Amino acid sequence: MERVYTDLTADQTDATEIARRVRDHWGIENKIHHVRDTTYAEDASRVRTGTAPRAMASLRNLAIGALRLTGCDNLAAGLRRHSRDTTRPLTTLGIT
């Protein structure tokens, strides 16, 4: 059985390029999935039926993206700061 991990053939790439692609993949893992689990305890979520898990992941991604757009480096602190003022999340998203 042959496993394909890239769209490039052996003649088109080398070990350096494959390593770069692997790092890029894990960069996504670290930036999104790991953050969602550590900040929102997503793996412990009891939301498991229908489209609810996907909807919750989308809402979490929206919150993470909005906080990053504001320059927030510490998402947990950003969430606490935004939760104290009920209008701040809407203002961050440009909704008034």
The pLDDT of residue 22 = 82
For the packed helices 52-69 and 75-84, what is the interaxial angle rounded to 10 degrees? Answer: 90
Over residues 73-87, the pLDDT tens digits come to: 898 899 898 888 888
The pLDDT of residue 23 = 85
Q: Where are the alpha helices (DSSP H) in 1-96?
A: 15-28, 34-40, 52-69, 75-84, 88-92
Over residues 8-33, the pLDDT tens digits come to: 777 788 888 888 888 887 887 777 78
Name the pTM for this structure.
0.65
Predicted confidence band at 88 (pLDDT cuts at 50, 70, 90)? confident
